[in-house]
Structure 1
Amino acid sequence: MHEPTDDELHDSVARLLARELGVAEPAREHPSPVSPARIAAWMAENEFSYFVDNDGDLGGLWRGRLFYFFLFGERSEILQIRGQWHREIAIERLEEVLDVCNDWNADRIWPKAYIRVRDNGRVHVVSEVATDLEHGATDSQLSQFLFCGLSTGSMLFDALDEKYPDPAGTAP
């Protein structure tokens, strides 16, 4: 009886996996580091408005809401998409809004929802999606992540719009 070589065993396992799982397509693009320039190019390609503020941070508008795109970490490998609801809430509703954020976070993975209390006592609701891209991302991966941050943040803000209708939007 013939004892199979390592190469023969490898080929046999590869054929079995290909039969059971399908043949893997070779990657068409390779991951590369994420940079503000890549994010800006994605924004331009998708015809989104964007800007660079006085601190050099990249921001943009998505469905009338302000989002920022930050890169953190020693090698700027952590991408964070942070949105801010376009309305403020009175400090008297702080506990209520914290409950809304906590309920959101308990039921969903993205975005993380939290509040910030400004010096003027007004409450801002923030959405945040972050991921470690230490090994870079392909253009399609980056696009998917950016759309995820923007769309899930918008879902949170839509829920807030529904819970707290704008008085200017309703008839007296």
Structure 2
Amino acid sequence: MSSAEHEPTSLPALTAARIAQRLDARGSVYGTDKDGDLVGRWDGHPFWFITLGQSKEYLQVRGRWARQVPGTEFGNVLLGANAWSETMVWPKVFVRIEAEQVAVYTEHTVDYEHGVTDEQLDLHLTIGIASALRFFAQLDERYPEAVPTVPVERPADPPAAPIAYHDPARPTLD
């Protein structure tokens, strides 16, 4: 092998604009929240697309279960999150109490310090959303009586009709 085969290639940097371009290419419905993060809803669950780190080199896809159960269910939901995490690679799941209700979040974070291709961004978005939706579906099954939460920061200026895009992590308006 020659040394040229081991030289790093220059990949485009991770930026919020590139994330938005990939969401646009999917036909996703999203907006920007008060912190400047991209946010949208898939199957009614809010998802944030956050860049973190000193140079904004980390991409985190964070989802929140759009339902709530009483704080007394905290232990049961936590056990379910732990069971998921024992067998699944993605997403990271955490549970906490917010206003005496159980809040469930998912996160899929990757370091793109050396840049990222469009294909890698697409894969990251798909994994972050689709794996979270699978976990949220399990919660919905376990808690069919759970009350949907009030929408968290609805995207600005959504299109008049839902996008007909057949991704397993399909965008929705509510």
Structure 2 length as normaliser, TM-score?
Answer: 0.76
Paired residues of 1:30 and 1:138 also in contact (CA < 8 A): no
Residue 110 of structure 1 corresponds to 90
Higher RCO structure, 1 or 2 (CA under 8 Å, sep 6+): 2
- Written as runs of structure 1 = structure 2, the 5 A alignment for 1:64-75 is 64-75=44-55
Residue 111 of structure 2 corresponds to 132
Task: Looking at secondary structure, tell me which structure has more helix per residue.
Answer: 1
CA shift for structure 1 position 167: 6.3
Secondary structure of 1:124's partner?
strand
1:42 maps to 2:32: no
CA shift for structure 1 position 69: 0.8
Q: Give CA-to-partner distance per residue, 1:20-41, whole Å, 9 cap, x none.
A: xxxxxxxxx9621111111111
Residue 22 of structure 1 corresponds to none
CA shift for structure 1 position 116: 2.3
C-alpha separation in 2, matches of 1:154 and 1:30: 33
Paired residues of 2:67 and 2:146 also in contact (CA < 8 A): no
Larger radius of gyration: 1
C-alpha distance 134-115 of structure 1, shift in aligned 2 (>3 A): same
Structure 1 length as normaliser, TM-score?
Answer: 0.77
C-alpha separation in 2, matches of 1:30 and 1:141: 14
Residue 15 of structure 1 corresponds to none
CA shift for structure 1 position 123: 1.0
Runs ≥4 residues deviating over 3 A? none
Paired residues of 1:69 and 1:79 also in contact (CA < 8 A): yes
- Percent identical among aligned pairs is 35
Task: Looking at secondary structure, tell me which structure has more strand per residue.
Answer: 2
For structure 1, the residue ranges without an aligned partner over 5 or more in a row are 1-9, 12-28
Secondary structure of 1:165's partner?
coil
How many pairs were matched up? 142
Residue 81 of structure 1 corresponds to 61
C-alpha distance 167-75 of structure 1, shift in aligned 2 (>3 A): closer
Paired residues of 1:82 and 1:129 also in contact (CA < 8 A): yes
Residue 161 of structure 2 corresponds to none
